[in-house]
A and B are shown apart, each in its own frame.
Chain A
């Protein structure tokens, strides 16, 4: 029988890569701070890696009360089983009420593995986290492609786990005077279960700013057609000092990488200007970009749903309008 009072604290898996604390970790600590203040409980960061102990203070400055630090050579690179054993042991030793992960390729690999190991619920890609009157975590996420929102609760199991996309929550400003406790933790590894070998970790200099950070996005969809059409978008992006992004169709077609995809299965973006070119606006795409400050949509189909979120809509052929727009802007912005 679950005794809820045995489980306290809002815990965050504080993701780092090669010793660099990921922005999403600080965002989650910021959110955890709000939740913990309502519950009057602690914010605890679980910090796992190699040669990282000296960075625990950064997590404290951004809102953590305690940092459970697991600093071992085996943990240099993320591998599912190694990390799962660590976090599993931490959870069993400390009994958190809430456990949050970034919805990254690491968090979305680790969290479900752990939820099955801990036999508890997990809610993916939450956009809103709140505490209910009964002190339960209310996790709200987009469902059914994005237009439907569902609030999910996990009342009979602990910890209450969720993943949150990078960029959704706000981090707190660092306070160098904040004090906290660093708790070193020694895991017991069951090395017989370490079956995956990392052969190579390759960083591709994609030479581009992360689309989630871009101020202007030139985004293309099915209507752009082929590679050639996409090259024209790059020309336009160059003139505007913008980044290119796309809808799922272009990614599935192999024209552009997954890291450029906007939408529910890609990234959430909030640029000052979003140019939706040849994108019909499937709702999962809209879910990823509708918060943009100003949206210009160009599409052949005047009934395309993109026009419902656009501030300015043009019914027309992107492949005619884009080169012309590039040309005119070139003249103006020289």
Chain B
């Protein structure tokens, strides 16, 4: 019933806009409002904080179904839920939870996450943004780049060095609201895919936030970042899974319709075998994703599971969408059909929230520990 509801919403409200927001590189604010009404922005959050009281499996299904028709819409929800709502819920004080979670869950406020810097990508420990305590305020200085939902989010979970001498143990997490003086959003990136999503720079220029906006322990930021990204990977794996399934659905339809040499493409054994292999990989991704979500729900360690899910789902999405374009031939290369967009959207899933190489590092780390 839950999948049916999200699918119906996705088909009726999200799909018709997918090509347009991609073409215009426009953030789908109208869709965000509709999703807010449905309670999509607080799926795994308990009802006492205004959430839907669902779990990570439902959250994963929602991101998958949205991404099946529009990768942009999937990542808006994923970045908000996994990267902002989750860390505040998991590491916030009771006051922070009461203040931020209900408005985040209702969709009144959108959330974002600021970790990556020009010189701290995969090596997140090389943070150059600093936070200095002055009286009752933290003063933040520095830049964050490639921030999803930037400019549209109200709440940012941001990481900064509070004690450089301690290395990764000197990184702390903070909650920054968009209307804080000294905070601004810089230039918007022009991207290959997920072009409707807002990706921009965050600029902190003597940005003063209350002392109480420290999230978690002083120096505990790196741990929070890593833990948050574990959850984020479930979201991105779900997004990749959705993109892959969407491309499969389009290709099944097209190959049934399209005739060459007097018969449908789907009647050729080459088509059938290739498609069978691809759907098997999609289904394997689905199981990996759900397994990681289930372990998170059960409170079990799931870091390597999330990494495997994201690695496999992202690479599958890239393979499926590339082949989907191939099946569509010349038409697939045009914007008349959605598969070229799906191929462009799929690429990012191999990169953000830890590249495929980082996922392999995480998995190997577990293997050889």
Contacting residues, chain A, for B256 (C-beta < 8 A): 303
Question: Nearest Cβ in chain B — how far from A108, in angstroms?
Answer: 30
How many Å lie between the Cα of A9 and that of B256 in the bound state? 57
How many Å lie between the Cα of A315 and that of B264 in the bound state? 14
Question: Nearest Cβ in chain A — how far from B255, in angstroms?
Answer: 12
**Chief secondary structure at chain A's binding surface:** loop
Q: Of residues 102 to 123 in B, which have CB atoms within 8 Å of A's CB atoms?
A: none
Q: Does B257 touch A at the CB level, under 8 Å?
A: yes
Contacting residues, chain B, for A302 (C-beta < 8 A): 257
How many Å lie between the Cα of A315 and that of B256 in the bound state? 13
Q: Does A301 touch B at the CB level, under 8 Å?
A: yes
**Nearest CB in chain B to that of A253: its residue:** B12
Q: Of residues 254 to 276 in B, which have CB atoms within 8 Å of A's CB atoms?
A: 256-257
The digit string for A280-318, where 1 denotes a CB below 8 A from any CB of B, is 000000000000000000001111000000000001000
Contacting residues, chain B, for A303 (C-beta < 8 A): 256-257
Q: Of residues 245 to 303 in A, which have CB atoms within 8 Å of B's CB atoms?
A: 300-303
Q: Of residues 66 to 90 in B, which have CB atoms within 8 Å of A's CB atoms?
A: none
The digit string for B243-256, where 1 denotes a CB below 8 A from any CB of A, is 00000000000001
How many Å lie between the Cα of A302 and that of B263 in the bound state? 13
Contacting residues, chain B, for A301 (C-beta < 8 A): 257
Question: Nearest Cβ in chain A — how far from B267, in angstroms?
Answer: 13
Question: Nearest Cβ in chain A — how far from B42, in angstroms?
Answer: 30
How many Å lie between the Cα of A281 and that of B256 in the bound state? 18
**Nearest CB in chain B to that of A300: its residue:** B257
How many Å lie between the Cα of A54 and that of B256 in the bound state? 64
The digit string for B331-358, where 1 denotes a CB below 8 A from any CB of A, is 0000000000000000000000000000
**Nearest CB in chain B to that of A302: its residue:** B257
How many Å lie between the Cα of A303 and that of B258 in the bound state? 11
Question: Nearest Cβ in chain A — how far from B292, in angstroms?
Answer: 37
The digit string for B284-316, where 1 denotes a CB below 8 A from any CB of A, is 000000000000000000000000000000000
**Nearest CB in chain A to that of B258: its residue:** A302
Question: Nearest Cβ in chain B — how far from A246, in angstroms?
Answer: 18
**Nearest CB in chain B to that of A317: its residue:** B336
Question: Nearest Cβ in chain A — how far from B14, in angstroms?
Answer: 16
Contacting residues, chain B, for A315 (C-beta < 8 A): 257
How many Å lie between the Cα of A57 and that of B170 in the bound state? 101
Contacting residues, chain A, for B257 (C-beta < 8 A): 300-303, 315
How many Å lie between the Cα of A233 and that of B256 in the bound state? 28
**Nearest CB in chain A to that of B259: its residue:** A302
Question: Nearest Cβ in chain A — how far from B16, in angstroms?
Answer: 8
How many Å lie between the Cα of A301 and that of B258 in the bound state? 10
Question: Nearest Cβ in chain B — how far from A283, in angstroms?
Answer: 21
Question: Nearest Cβ in chain B — how far from A88, in angstroms?
Answer: 44
How many Å lie between the Cα of A303 and that of B259 in the bound state? 12
How many Å lie between the Cα of A303 and that of B257 in the bound state? 8
How many Å lie between the Cα of A301 and that of B257 in the bound state? 7
Question: Nearest Cβ in chain A — how far from B256, in angstroms?
Answer: 7
Question: Nearest Cβ in chain B — how far from A11, in angstroms?
Answer: 47
Q: Of residues 102 to 134 in A, which have CB atoms within 8 Å of B's CB atoms?
A: none
Question: Nearest Cβ in chain B — how far from A7, in angstroms?
Answer: 50
**Residue of A300, A302, A315 contacting most chain B CB atoms (<10 Å):** A302
Contacting residues, chain B, for A300 (C-beta < 8 A): 257
How many Å lie between the Cα of A301 and that of B256 in the bound state? 9
**Nearest CB in chain A to that of B336: its residue:** A317
Question: Nearest Cβ in chain B — how far from A221, in angstroms?
Answer: 16
Question: Nearest Cβ in chain B — how far from A326, in angstroms?
Answer: 22
**Nearest CB in chain B to that of A226: its residue:** B16
Question: Nearest Cβ in chain A — how far from B40, in angstroms?
Answer: 23
How many Å lie between the Cα of A315 and that of B257 in the bound state? 10
How many Å lie between the Cα of A302 and that of B265 in the bound state? 13
Question: Nearest Cβ in chain A — how far from B344, in angstroms?
Answer: 24
How many Å lie between the Cα of A300 and that of B337 in the bound state? 13
Question: Nearest Cβ in chain A — how far from B212, in angstroms?
Answer: 50
Question: Nearest Cβ in chain B — how far from A37, in angstroms?
Answer: 53
**Nearest CB in chain B to that of A225: its residue:** B16
Q: Of residues 151 to 206 in A, which have CB atoms within 8 Å of B's CB atoms?
A: none
**Nearest CB in chain B to that of A315: its residue:** B257
The digit string for B53-74, where 1 denotes a CB below 8 A from any CB of A, is 0000000000000000000000
Question: Nearest Cβ in chain B — how far from A307, in angstroms?
Answer: 12
How many Å lie between the Cα of A300 and that of B256 in the bound state? 12
The digit string for B221-260, where 1 denotes a CB below 8 A from any CB of A, is 0000000000000000000000000000000000011000
How many Å lie between the Cα of A119 and that of B256 in the bound state? 53
Question: Nearest Cβ in chain B — how far from A121, in angstroms?
Answer: 36
Question: Nearest Cβ in chain B — how far from A28, in angstroms?
Answer: 41
How many Å lie between the Cα of A262 and that of B256 in the bound state? 29
**Nearest CB in chain A to that of B264: its residue:** A302
Give A contacts to B, CB under 8 Å: 300-303, 315
Give B contacts to A, CB under 8 Å: 256-257
A-B contact pairs, 6 of them (CB 8 A): A300-B257, A301-B257, A302-B257, A303-B256, A303-B257, A315-B257
For the complex of A and B, 6 pairs with smallest distance between CB atoms: A302-B257, A301-B257, A303-B256, A303-B257, A300-B257, A315-B257
